């Protein structure tokens, strides 16, 4: 097995300017909820990173070798304010976004996050419907914040948890954080009504694959949806290798051998997770036993119906989790652009989107990478 190498690079990469034609009278785009990209994919899901900081140092996301005590995080003045985030989000909603997910880093580290949640919860789609407003967290602060998050208008949470064995979990978060505190956070979220709760487990071959079945046994029948994520080649700092990927098909095979599963239909267009329900004695899905999901971003590309955009902490718009460049919206926001200008800029950026990294990787081979193309870090724009 080859030695793991982590390149010493900055996670933040150069931005693209907004197309000039976005502000020309003849080519302005006004939102009508029907915006589609170059491959016909609609804009429905916006993921907003509210901080580039995290209190974990998971090797697949923010390895301690890079993100040490001297790492230069963004100064507060570079971060979009809550009012700026809400203003941008409002234009995305006008273009058709129906779901907003707050991410990080660890989003619960952003001070007074409940204020932003209140502002976003007040937004409405053109049809007058509230947004699907959710948040992804490592769960470390969830026990103390769950009630306030719910009161502010948050609907659901997704918790990252890579194993139940305390030694394995402490090894993976690399901050000696106990698994019991995350489980306490999940229970607090359930009690607060932040559901249905999803728990995401990144499976890394040779590190935590032995935790698959214990996780399934623990969450089966609890109402929590457990999802297994293939270890991804995101960014340049996690030392990703294909031989550390455990394909989702093998995860399903292992679970099915002990607890029979039946495949379920997707919950919505563009859903990244393949759904499997636990079977009852009759061989059919028993809803009381719940379901699991697998996200196969390495072995099964789902680019064809991807409807997600990502807004970084400092206002850069990324069109793919594996993007090499982002578009600078902060300069527009702070440069006096009107809402119409901002909406037109978003429209032109999305219309020019042709990203399909996972499909190209599948065609070229998983170990193929374009020379000089450094992808943005997941810790910077969220998962």
Q: Which two tokens stand for residue 272?
A: 């990244």
Least confident of 10-14, 174-178, 295-299: 10-14
pLDDT grade for 231, boundaries at 50, 70 and 90: confident
CA distance 378 to 58: 12
Which value, in Å, is the radius of gyration of the alpha carbons in the chain? 20
pLDDT computed for residue 322 by the predictor: 77
Of 134 and 301, which is predicted with more confidence? 134
CA distance 6 to 106: 22
Of 21 and 203, which is predicted with more confidence? 203
pLDDT computed for residue 382 by the predictor: 64
pLDDT computed for residue 4 by the predictor: 39
Mean residue pLDDT across the chain: 88
User: What's the whole-number mean pLDDT along residues 50-56?
Assistant: 94
Whether residue 141 has pLDDT greater than 60: yes
Q: Where does 40-81 have alpha helices with state H? A: none
CA distance 32 to 127: 11
Q: Which CATH class is domain 15-381?
A: alpha beta
Name the percent of the chain lying above pLDDT 90: 69
Whether residue 283 has pLDDT greater than 60: yes
User: What's the whole-number mean pLDDT along residues 79-93?
Assistant: 98
User: What's the whole-number mean pLDDT along residues 11-15?
Assistant: 55
Whether residue 21 has pLDDT greater than 90: no
pLDDT computed for residue 172 by the predictor: 85
CA distance 239 to 86: 35
CA distance 303 to 99: 18
Q: What is the pLDDT of residues 164-214, one digit of tens each?
A: 999 989 988 999 999 999 999 999 999 999 989 999 999 999 889 999 999
Peptide bond into 105 cis (omega under 30): yes
pLDDT computed for residue 373 by the predictor: 52
CA distance 375 to 367: 14
pLDDT grade for 239, boundaries at 50, 70 and 90: low
User: What's the whole-number mean pLDDT along residues 242-255?
Assistant: 92
pLDDT computed for residue 305 by the predictor: 86
């Amino acid at each position: 097995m080859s030695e793991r190498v982590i390149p010493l690079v900055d996670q933040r990469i150069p931005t693209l300017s907004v197309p000039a034609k976005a502000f020309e009278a003849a080519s302005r785009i006004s939102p009508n909820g029907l915006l589609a990209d170059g491959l016909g994919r609609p804009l429905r899901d916006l993921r907003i990173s509210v901080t580039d900081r995290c209190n974990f140092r998971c090797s697949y996301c923010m390895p301690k070798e890079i993100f040490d005590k001297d790492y230069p995080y963004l100064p507060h003045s570079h971060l979009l304010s809550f009012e700026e985030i809400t203003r941008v989000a409002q234009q995305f909603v006008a273009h058709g976004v129906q779901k907003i997910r707050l991410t990080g880093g660890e989003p619960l580290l952003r001070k007074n996050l409940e204020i932003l949640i209140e502002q976003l919860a007040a937004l409405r789609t053109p049809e007058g419907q509230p947004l699907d407003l959710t948040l992804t967290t490592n769960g470390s602060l969830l026990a103390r914040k769950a009630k306030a998050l719910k009161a502010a208008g948050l609907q659901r949470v997704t918790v990252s948890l890579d194993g139940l064995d305390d030694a394995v979990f402490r090894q993976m978060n690399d901050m000696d954080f106990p698994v019991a505190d995350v489980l306490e956070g999940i229970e607090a979220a359930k009690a607060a009504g932040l559901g249905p709760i999803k728990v995401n487990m990144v499976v890394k071959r040779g590190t935590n694959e032995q935790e698959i079945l214990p996780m399934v046994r623990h969450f089966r029948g609890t109402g929590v949806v457990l999802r297994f994520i293939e270890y991804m080649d995101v960014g340049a700092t996690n030392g990703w290798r294909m031989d550390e990927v455990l394909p989702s098909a093998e995860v399903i095979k292992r679970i099915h051998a002990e607890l029979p599963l039946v495949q379920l239909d997707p919950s919505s267009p563009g859903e990244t997770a393949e759904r499997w329900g636990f079977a009852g004695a009759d061989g059919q899905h028993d809803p009381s036993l719940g379901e699991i999901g697998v996200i196969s971003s390495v072995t099964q590309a789902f680019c064809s119906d991807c409807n997600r955009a990502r807004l970084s902490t400092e206002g850069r718009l990324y069109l793919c989790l594996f993007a090499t460049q982002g578009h600078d919206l902060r300069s527009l926001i702070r440069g006096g652009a009107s809402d119409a200008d901002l909406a037109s800029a978003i429209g032109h950026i999305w219309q020019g989107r042709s990203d399909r990294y996972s499909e190209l990787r599948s065609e070229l081979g998983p170990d193929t990478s374009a020379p000089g193309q450094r992808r943005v870090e997941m810790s910077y724009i969220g998962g």
